[in-house]
Chain A
Amino acid sequence: MHIPAEALRALKHVLGEKNVLCDEISLCLNGYDCSLSRARPDVLLNIPTRQQVSPAVQILHRYKIPFTVRGAATNHAGSCCPLKGGAILNLCALNRILQINTQAGYAWVEPGVITGQLQQALQPLGFFYAPDPASQRVCTIGGNIAQNASGARCLKYGGTLDHLIQAEVVLPNGDVQTFSRTTPGPDWLGLLTGSEGTLGIITQAKVKILPLSQHVRTFLITFPSLQQSVQTVTDLMGRGVIPRCVEAMDKQTVLAVETFSRAGYPTDAEALLILELDGPLQTLEHEQKTVEEICHLHQAQHIYCAQTEAERQRLWAGRQGAYSAMASLAPNVLVCDGTVPRSALPDTLRAVRKILEENQIRASLLFHAGDGNFHPQLIFDERHKTDTLHITRTAKRILQACVDAGGTISGEHGIGVEKRSTMAYQYDRATLHLFSQIKHAADPDELANPLKILPLNYEEKAVFPPAAQGRLRTWLEDFQHRKSQGKPFWVCGTNSRLQTQEPVFSTEPLNQITDVDLTNYTLTVQAGVTLKQVQQTLAKHGVHSVLPDEPGTVGGAFSSGCFPDFYAHVTAIQVLMPDGSLVRYGGKLTKNAAGYNLIRLFAGAQGALGIVTELTFKIFATPQPILTPRKDQPIVPNCWFNRLKQELDPTGLLCLKEETR
């Protein structure tokens, strides 16, 4: 696209002459990342300080120039690829750690700070930043937030989303907005995390830091089958042992790694686990015994515990060498990323191997056994078009296999442009339409990282949703009736929090407990199920959750905003939108980086954007600290809320709680 001379002059005025580049070399070298996609921007803007982001974006907005933010560009999804041309905003120079507060447990960082450098800065202070993407030595915190990156430690500590406390964001029109976890209302930070720069640009972030574990034990365990290795992890979690990370590989990957790096892995087993525990010494001793006991129960062939740091490093060297082993064989390695419920992992891995064999593709198969996330690494030469096409088709088949197993097309890499067509495998029309509405509300001019995440022509390609059954169907009919009357109403559960005499629409009829899954440790309930009912069901199965035994419904606990720490436990939701469509998001998954995080959008929204009808959340084998409710606070609508409300509910059918007062 053509950049007007006036716009260039204005940008040079704001950023300085040398930071606005239009030469051929700069443009050609800033339109790619670690994916297969490439595009050519029209101007490169090197941002020297974070204060210059907003004025630069204001100019881009004024001249309607699309822009794409670029950090270290290490993502595998093509998120940094400027599909519509326009400007590339290089934020790599914003690489200062602004503040580390060990007493309050947070750090303020600029988006260009390298994750590994933050770790290095925290280590001498006895702290660490929990998200550990494999590329942490080179990727940036801003990129991690944009992609909701996570790594091996995600199982115990969570991903980037769980460690972001506050962020300063430049919106696509150039306005600066601060989003915080403590503000009542939807979890905007949660929505922003994983949005791949399509909703705004993070200019500084406050992230959680944790005290470093003094003691770590690393085990190498082998099993005669994949099934047994995964069952071992499930049983460990059932006994309350949550490893810091559980990395795994199948036999063929172990053989490839051994040939390349000679890490000393046993090659006679079908599955190999590298399991790491951390915590106080006493707990570790106890957990080690449990690990050994459960491994023996599942006929582990070798159980080896690293005795020294050097041995520990050697065990990890093999796992880290898996990518190198593949990279030495062919010019390109396509790292796929899919996540399935843990119980479905063995079958999915078998299906993936079958797909690879059928297509005669050499690949290694690594997986995070704890959270069901796996990464086939497919080798090819992208210079051969047919070869590349064959590989990308195979990768899509693998993602389809994930979706068929109840999983997601991305656990931690994001969607970008590489996987946007496969979004239609996973989501129905209503959900994809909601993603589109979110983007449109936040960025009506389609300027921020355009053409990402959403598949083109999704209305034709999206999967068909299952029809509503039973009580939900009757309740939906009731909703349509209320809607046809055209009178606004308030959404409530047992009306224990709202306590209004105004016209309400209750979720009380939706009071079924749909599923108790003791393999993946999830509970699926309809929104009208009371907290007491949940406690009774959990007690019956001998499991626990973080929800208290209080009046009110699960839907209320989620939507009212009284339990913000509960949001991280919710893995799937079903929402009735004001237009009458049903939106489904998530599954029995620990991580999901496909699309905008709808759980966080409806969490704390008090039913004003849509009505939550069903929730899936994590349950535990051991008692957990029970959440204490926060004081009921009305939502303070910000610009995003107002625009979203206008986009999703233009007639104002669903009322906000504050309106009752």
Chain B
Amino acid sequence: MMHPSFKHCLHALKTPFGWRELYDSAAYCNRCGACTQVCPAYHLNPQETFSPRGRNQLLRLVCEEKIKLSRKQPLARDLLISCTLCGRCSQACASHTPTAEHVLEMRRRLGLCVLPRLLQRLLLWRETAPRLFAVGIRLGLWGRRCGLVTLLRKSGVTLLPGLTWINRADELLPRRIGRWRITSNATDTVKPPLIYLPSLEAEFFLPELASQTLAYAQREHAVTVWRNTASGLFSYVYGQLRQSRRTLRRLINRHAQTADGNAPLLTDSVDTYVFLKRAAQVFSGNMRWQKRAQKMADCVCFVTEVMPKSPTENKPQGGPVRLEPSALFDRQSRPFTQALDILTTFFGKNLLQCLYTEADIPAFGYAFTAENRAEQMGLEVVRQVAQTHTRTVYTLSGLAALELTYFLQRFYPAAKAKHLVHINR
């Protein structure tokens, strides 16, 4: 199973306790089981095989060559796909074992394609051919407005294997998509401008998210918008590490050429934030690029940095609110504490403290990799929202807001989900 080349896999992983080689990293799992009960995939399928501990042990057995994996084994495929990459297990683990990274490495080394191939190819265009991608998305949205997708659904084409994602995408994406109104206003050359890197969803499906983020950023900064610019996260998560490195290099070069590489890099998606903060890991084994990636990572900031920390006018009214901490790899970094602080200031006692063990929306594209499970997990979140009579659920990424909105509209319309930047609306 092991891929011979480090071109396609990582040398080492960056953990809170320093760099660790893959085998070392897996060996730090002491099998205490603290991770099992926080894993949403394990909750749906309470078997060791689907637990973070099981995944770590599997990697270890593979490294020790005691077991052979191949992508033809249905169980291997299932257990690797079932991981949501949410990183709650690492948070629960005393030695912060990065199970999500282990799963990604196993996926890469198996050459496992977890997304439907057509969707993966289309989405990869964002990194390889961004203009073509933008045209493709606009064409798709235009076709959807013209009823093309409805026609496909009615004709049963979307039920064909490999095309079911069209159904899901149609359900998740908002019915009405507005237009971008604000552009860069960077004229001040004295201070390094703030670079806004809109996420995929803000760029194409949620322009109001981009507009609001820009509006906040432009209150204090001159802002340059890097439109249709990929971060490399997609190819990192979906198996193409070389492409991820290429995309990241492009971004690092472009950033280095802007204001001597000191310009803050703003993102509205917590997934992108977490990924860019750990960009050095992508270049493990390459010191030069590691340093450059780290320099860029130090400039990355989340939208909570530019948001007002307290309500400008009256405090927003309404029932209980909660924060949906859905993210890739991590739930403990700065944006989460900042978001909680902001919500506490805005809503006081109306902010419900989510319990650590509570479910959240699966991270980043899980709806397309494991449709059935995503549905069950979504329902679990809705159940918790309904149990606490929550009226508004705030998320830190547009994608999570879209997914949660879909489930809430279906099962608990009394509540709504929105990105934190819309706190004043």
Instruction: Give residues in A with beta carbon < 8 Å to B.
Output: 23-26, 28-30, 32-34, 46, 70, 72-74, 90, 92-93, 95, 112, 114, 116, 120, 135, 137-139, 323-324, 326-328, 331-333, 381-383
Contact = CB atoms under 8 A, between A and B. Distances in A.
A116 B30 contact: no
Interface stretch (B32-40, B240-248, B331-339): B32-40
B27 A383 contact: yes
Interface string B337-357: 000000000000000000101
A138 B46 contact: no
A543 B265 CA distance: 72
A93 B50 CA distance: 13
Interface residues of B, number: 34
Given A137-B357, A328-B17, A34 B24 contact: no
B49 A327 contact: no
Interface in B33-81: 33-34, 36-37, 46-49, 54, 57-58, 61, 66-67, 69, 73, 75-76, 79
A92 B79 CA distance: 17
Nearest to B25: A331
Contact of B95 (A34, A93, A327): A327
A74 B33 contact: yes
Contacts of A92: 46-47
A29 B95 contact: no
A26 B75 contact: yes
A324 B47 contact: no
B34 A26 contact: no
Contacts of B33: 33-34, 72-74, 135, 138-139
A29 B46 contact: no
A417 to B, nearest CB: 15
17 contacts: A25-B75, A26-B49, A28-B67, A29-B48, A29-B49, A30-B48, A33-B33, A34-B31, A34-B32, A70-B48, A73-B31, A90-B47, A120-B355, A137-B357, A324-B94, A324-B95, A331-B27
DSSP majority for the A interface?
A: loop
A32 B57 contact: yes
Nearest to A333: B30
A323 B67 CA distance: 30
A104 B24 CA distance: 52
Contacts of B37: 72, 114, 116, 137-138
B31 A28 contact: no
Interface of B: 16-17, 24, 27-34, 36-37, 46-49, 54, 57-58, 61, 66-67, 69, 73, 75-76, 79, 93-96, 355, 357
Nearest to B27: A331
A289 B109 CA distance: 64
A135 B34 contact: yes
Contacts of A333: 30, 94
B93 to A, nearest CB: 8
Contacts of A34: 30-33
A41 to B, nearest CB: 11
Contacts of B357: 116, 137
Given A29-B57, A74-B33, A333-B30, 19 more contacts: A23-B73, A25-B58, A26-B47, A26-B75, A28-B57, A28-B58, A28-B67, A30-B49, A32-B57, A33-B31, A33-B33, A34-B33, A114-B37, A137-B37, A323-B94, A324-B94, A327-B93, A331-B27, A332-B30
A118 to B, nearest CB: 13
> Ordered nearest first, which 10 A-B pairs have the shortest CB separation?
A327-B94, A92-B46, A324-B94, A74-B33, A327-B95, A331-B27, A29-B54, A138-B37, A331-B28, A29-B48
Contacts of A25: 49, 58, 67, 69, 73, 75-76, 79
B47 A24 contact: no
Nearest to A382: B27
Contacts of B355: 120
A138 B34 contact: yes
Given A23-B75, A28-B58, A29-B54, A137 B49 contact: no
Contacts, number: 93
A383 B355 CA distance: 36
A328 B20 CA distance: 12
A181 to B, nearest CB: 30
A460 B76 CA distance: 47
Contacts of B36: 72, 138
Contacts of A116: 37, 357
Contacts of A30: 48-49
A433 B49 CA distance: 38
A29 B34 contact: no
A344 B61 CA distance: 43
Contacts of B58: 25, 28-29
A28 B30 contact: no
Nearest to A323: B94
A381 B96 CA distance: 16
A32 to B, nearest CB: 6
Contacts of B69: 25
A331 B30 contact: yes
B239 to A, nearest CB: 20
B46 A95 contact: yes
A32 B60 CA distance: 13
Contacts of B32: 34, 74, 135
Contacts of B79: 25
A33 B53 CA distance: 10
Contact of B94 (A74, A112, A328, A382): A328
Contact of B46 (A24, A93, A381, A382): A93
Contacts of A323: 94
A34 B56 CA distance: 13
A92 B51 CA distance: 12
B32 to A, nearest CB: 5
Nearest to B23: A383
Contacts of A114: 37
Contacts of A33: 31, 33
A95 B24 CA distance: 34
Contacts of B31: 32-34, 73
A306 B32 CA distance: 30
A132 B37 CA distance: 16
B175 to A, nearest CB: 39
Nearest to A92: B46
A73 B76 contact: no
Contacts of B24: 331
A90 B30 contact: no
A642 B12 CA distance: 61
Contacts of B94: 323-324, 326-328, 333
In this complex, the member of A72, A138, A139, A328 whose beta carbon has the largest number of chain B beta carbons within 10 angstroms is: A138
B33 to A, nearest CB: 4
Contacts of B57: 28-29, 32
Nearest to A88: B48
A33 B33 CA distance: 8
Contacts of B29: 331
Nearest to B60: A383
Nearest to A75: B33
A353 B73 CA distance: 50
B95 A28 contact: no
A197 to B, nearest CB: 16
A28 B27 contact: no
A73 B46 CA distance: 12
Contacts of A331: 24, 27-30, 95
In this complex, the member of B28, B49, B61 whose beta carbon has the largest number of chain A beta carbons within 10 angstroms is: B49
B27 A381 contact: yes
Contacts of A328: 16-17, 94-96
Contacts of A93: 46
In this complex, the member of A70, A120, A327 whose beta carbon has the largest number of chain B beta carbons within 10 angstroms is: A327
A28 B28 CA distance: 18
B17 to A, nearest CB: 5
In this complex, the member of B30, B54, B58, B66 whose beta carbon has the largest number of chain A beta carbons within 10 angstroms is: B30
A505 B94 CA distance: 58
B34 A137 contact: yes
Contacts of B47: 26, 46, 90, 92
